[in-house]
A = this chain, B = another copy of it.
Amino acid sequence: MTDINTAKGSGEGPSKDPIDRMAPDVGLPSAVALERLTPVVELIFFAYRDFTSESDAVLEAYGFGRAHHRVLHFVTWRSGLRVADLLETLRITKQSLARVLKKLVDRGFIVQEAGAADRRERRLYPTLEGRKLAEQLRALQTRRIAAALGEIEPAGQAAALGFLLALTAQPDRAGLAQMLADCGMTPSRPMTETRVR
C-alpha cells in the first residue's frame, strides 16, 4: 500500500501528477497526508447512503429495488438503448439484468421492440407508467441535488461536479461530461486525460 512515498512536505513544487499537486488549502502533500482524507471516505459513504434513501423508499412501495431503479432510469433517460448498452453501463451480467428487466417488462414499466436496422436488437423504452415512476424518482433525486448545490457557493458548483467526474473512471467520463455540458452543467476541468492508478 505505499506507492505514494514520493515527496512529502514539498509545498509548492511544480505539480505534474495529480496525486502530487493536490489541495493547497484542503492541503495535501503526499505520503502521510493521505490519511487526512479518511473522513472524506466516510463522507462519500454517507452522502451516497442518504442520496439513495428517499428513492429506495418509493421503490419499496412498488415492490422494486435499487436495481430496478437503475434499469428504469437508463431506459427512460436514454430511451431506446439496447440490452448490451445496459449491461455495459451497469457492469452486471446478463442474468442479473434479465431478472430485473423481466420484472419491469412483466409489470408494464418497460417495453421492448426489435431494432429497425438490426432486428436481433431489443430497443428498450419506458411505458407511460414507467416514465411516470422514473419522473417521480428523478424528481426526488434532482431535488436533493439542487438543494445540495444551493448550499454551496455558486462558484464552487462546477468544482463539485468536476470532483465527481474525476472520481469516475475514464471510459465513462467523456459521455458524462458531454451530457453535463448539454444541460448547461459545466464541470470544472472537464475531461483531462487522467490515468488514475
Contact = CB atoms under 8 A, between A and B. Distances in A.
Given A39-B180, A156-B159, A164-B47, A147 B196 contact: yes
16 contacts: A18-B150, A21-B150, A26-B149, A26-B157, A26-B185, A39-B182, A40-B180, A40-B185, A43-B161, A43-B164, A46-B168, A48-B48, A151-B192, A152-B163, A155-B156, A155-B159
A149 B189 CA distance: 11
5 A-B pairs closest in CB distance: A156-B159, A148-B166, A22-B150, A160-B163, A18-B150
Copies of chain A in the complex: 2
A24 B154 CA distance: 6
A139 interface: yes
Contacts of A192: 151
A179 to B, nearest CB: 4
A79 interface: no
